Chain A
Amino acid sequence: MAAKTKSVAAETRKPVVVVDNVDVTYKVFASGRKATRRLAGGGLFSRKLNLREVNAVKKVSFTIYEGDSVGIIGSNGSGKSSLMRAIAGLTPIAGGGVYAFARPTLLGVGAALMPALSGEKNILLGGLALGFTRKQINAAVTDIIKFAGLEEFIDLPMRTYSSGMAARLRFAIAASRDHDILIIDEALAVGDQEFRNRSEARMREMRANAGTVFLVSHSMKSILDTCTRVIWIEKGVLKMDGDPKTVVDAYNLHTGSDTID
């Protein structure tokens, strides 16, 4: 079995997400100096020499149980986001598998939005992208606008919004629905203090309504505040998995910092 045995009590809970020996690999063409030196004599057709396989996630396994609120930590480029996208089924997996009782949702809707169109139209589009029906999103529009605080600007094209306004709208759209398994990746609570408070409250609410939450963050304070379990991914490998305080302390030791925030 993949999970580390913590206690007998943990294993009597229902598993909701099982990650089994997951490998995520990116094949990219290297074009930096190192690669071209090896290329000497290769000529026009030597595509293969330039090809590098980046193993972003290496044989990661763990089991998440009902009610877990899991923090994912690790340095930049450690493979956290790749792993989360693999869990959400959005990135193909090179090896192993992810099993879940419901489709995990990655919280984020920016990719579907069109800057040339008004905020209101983008709410409709973003909502439909998330899986709302037209009726559901129409019912939620006023609340979303209010949450984002954009009543005056909602009929203006999004390309005229400041980055803060756009981020608030994106979050408001993404957070308007509850999910069974939720993956929150990093800095989503942006904007001024007032909006920050509202969005953190909303995220807490979503966590309460979701069965299971993954929170990927660099803020150890948020992790310690909200997570029941922490997984540390470093260079694609699962380094540590267990009690929040223990793992965070070990991570801080590794990076040479204290938990401030």
Chain B
Amino acid sequence: MSVADYAREHGLKRVGARPPLSEYLKMAWQRRDFAITMSVFANQAANSKNRLGKWWVILLPTIQGAVYGLIFGIIIGGDRPANFIPFLFTGVFLFSFIQSSVSTGATSVTSNLGLVRSLNFPRMLLPFSSVLRQFLNLLPQIGLLLVVLVLFQQNITFNWLLMVPLLALMAIFAFGLALISARLTVHIEDINKLIPFANRVMFYVSGIFFSVERVFGDYPILMQLMNFNPVYAFISTARGALVEGYSMSLNLWAVCASWAFGALIVGVWFFWKAEERYGRED
């Protein structure tokens, strides 16, 4: 009788074995309090060092938005999209959420090896906690965005409520990306170097400070491609819901939903597959 059979006969299970996906997700759900508390506390800890503390969560993107507005507003000049400030701020805030989710998600496992090597929990909670952290930072920014919108447009519409499902889809999308980048970074740390580059490219290409229709309008193929760009889809839909003069399209909603659930399914499966290998010293 092999040792494995002997163990099984006495009801012993293999330690560290990767549980089946349904059980894994159940375990992760049971430990969600740990992930949530980690996110909330990590934000508090980060803010505790700065004098302005949690105000930087709003200040930083506002300054970013203002700087981009000034520079690109001047460079593009007359070709500025209508309602430029609301247009710009929507894009900047939402993009920074996606970008920081991917960046912090990527290092969520590799920079927490102490945690991984001393405590037992589904490792999926680490990228989840990263994305949740960024989402908690996004909420006051959305608040500020709504204030800016009211100031510039003096108009609140029911379409604003569509931001709730849209933000949910964005969070799901960001989580999927974080899971994928987390596992990739575990295998090849170099990926970490490429992520800021990919983020920059997405920033410049996705029509955050310029109107995609105006710039790519003459190139139908590029326009078609752009319709599949998830960042563009999310930001464009958000602008459609919030900013006067812009509309939403069902097409883009479909693109958002597909990317969100696609990334989630692929991310969860991809990350769970290597669950036994996290914490290995390579």
Whether the Cβ atoms of B16 and A93 lie closer than 8 Å is yes
B6 is an interface residue with CB less than 8 A from chain A: yes
Whether the Cβ atoms of A101 and B281 lie closer than 8 Å is no
B220 is an interface residue with CB less than 8 A from chain A: no
Whether the Cβ atoms of A90 and B41 lie closer than 8 Å is no
Residues in B100-125 with C-beta less than 8 Å from chain A: 112, 114-121
Determine the chain B residues whose CB is within 8 A of the CB of A2 once the complex forms: 3
A106 is an interface residue with CB less than 8 A from chain B: yes
Determine the chain A residues whose CB is within 8 A of the CB of B11 once the complex forms: 101
Identity of the chain A residue whose Cβ is nearest the Cβ of B12 in the assembled complex: A99
Task: Give the segment of B163-171, B209-217, B272-280 that binds chain A.
Answer: B272-280
Q: How many residues of B contact A (CB 8 A)?
A: 39
Residues in A127-171 with C-beta less than 8 Å from chain B: 128-131, 133-134, 157
Whether the Cβ atoms of B31 and A157 lie closer than 8 Å is no
Whether the Cβ atoms of B119 and A129 lie closer than 8 Å is yes
Task: Give the segment of B32-40, B63-71, B230-238 that binds chain A.
Answer: B32-40
Q: Given A1-B6, A91-B117, A125-B38 in contact, is the A117-B45 Cβ separation under 8 Å?
A: yes
A124 is an interface residue with CB less than 8 A from chain B: yes
Identity of the chain A residue whose Cβ is nearest the Cβ of B280 in the assembled complex: A92
Interface of A is mostly: mixed
A67 is an interface residue with CB less than 8 A from chain B: no
Interface size class of A (residues with CB under 8 A): 35 or more
Partner of A98, one of B14, B112, B117, B280: B14
Q: Nearest-CB distance from B12 to chain A (Å)?
A: 4
Whether the Cβ atoms of B33 and A133 lie closer than 8 Å is yes
Determine the chain B residues whose CB is within 8 A of the CB of A191 once the complex forms: none
A104 is an interface residue with CB less than 8 A from chain B: yes
Residues in A64-108 with C-beta less than 8 Å from chain B: 85-93, 97-101, 103-106, 108
Q: How many angstroms between the C-alpha atoms of A91 and B277 in the bound complex?
A: 8
Whether the Cβ atoms of A106 and B118 lie closer than 8 Å is yes
B51 is an interface residue with CB less than 8 A from chain A: no
Q: Given A112-B115, A129-B34 in contact, is the A105-B120 Cβ separation under 8 Å?
A: yes
Determine the chain A residues whose CB is within 8 A of the CB of B276 once the complex forms: 92
Whether the Cβ atoms of B3 and A89 lie closer than 8 Å is no
Whether the Cβ atoms of B120 and A15 lie closer than 8 Å is no
Residues in B42-81 with C-beta less than 8 Å from chain A: 42, 44-46, 48-49
Q: How many angstroms between the C-alpha atoms of A18 and B5 in the bound complex?
A: 11
Q: Nearest-CB distance from B7 to chain A (Å)?
A: 4
Determine the chain A residues whose CB is within 8 A of the CB of B221 once the complex forms: none
Interface of B is mostly: helix
Whether the Cβ atoms of A114 and B282 lie closer than 8 Å is no
A27 is an interface residue with CB less than 8 A from chain B: yes
Q: Nearest-CB distance from B27 to chain A (Å)?
A: 10
Q: Given A18-B7, A157-B48 in contact, is the A87-B15 Cβ separation under 8 Å?
A: yes
Whether the Cβ atoms of A111 and B33 lie closer than 8 Å is no
Whether the Cβ atoms of B10 and A14 lie closer than 8 Å is yes
Whether the Cβ atoms of A128 and B34 lie closer than 8 Å is yes
Q: How many angstroms between the C-alpha atoms of A61 and B277 in the bound complex?
A: 22
Partner of B16, one of A27, A92, A105, A124: A92
Determine the chain B residues whose CB is within 8 A of the CB of A18 once the complex forms: 3, 6-7, 12
Identity of the chain A residue whose Cβ is nearest the Cβ of B120 in the assembled complex: A103
Determine the chain B residues whose CB is within 8 A of the CB of A131 once the complex forms: 31, 120-121
Residues in A1-49 with C-beta less than 8 Å from chain B: 1-2, 14-18, 20-21, 26-28
Whether the Cβ atoms of A116 and B45 lie closer than 8 Å is yes
Whether the Cβ atoms of A100 and B13 lie closer than 8 Å is yes
B194 is an interface residue with CB less than 8 A from chain A: no
Mark B259-282 against chain A: 1 for CB-CB distance below 8 A, else 0: 000000000000000001101111
B198 is an interface residue with CB less than 8 A from chain A: no
Whether the Cβ atoms of A16 and B12 lie closer than 8 Å is yes
Identity of the chain B residue whose Cβ is nearest the Cβ of A130 in the assembled complex: B119
Determine the chain A residues whose CB is within 8 A of the CB of B115 once the complex forms: 111-112, 129
Q: Nearest-CB distance from A65 to chain B (Å)?
A: 10
B4 is an interface residue with CB less than 8 A from chain A: yes
Partner of A116, one of B4, B48, B119: B48
Whether the Cβ atoms of B3 and A129 lie closer than 8 Å is no
Whether the Cβ atoms of A103 and B15 lie closer than 8 Å is yes
Whether the Cβ atoms of B120 and A26 lie closer than 8 Å is no
Q: Given A1-B3, A2-B3 in contact, is the A27-B282 Cβ separation under 8 Å?
A: yes
Whether the Cβ atoms of A85 and B117 lie closer than 8 Å is yes
- 9 A-B pairs with C-beta separation under 8 A: A86-B16, A99-B13, A100-B12, A101-B10, A109-B119, A117-B45, A129-B34, A129-B119, A157-B48
Closest 4 CB pairs of A and B: A89-B16, A99-B7, A111-B114, A116-B45
Known: A112-B38, A116-B44, A117-B41. 9 other contacts (CB 8 A): A1-B3, A26-B281, A88-B15, A97-B14, A111-B112, A116-B46, A116-B48, A125-B34, A125-B37
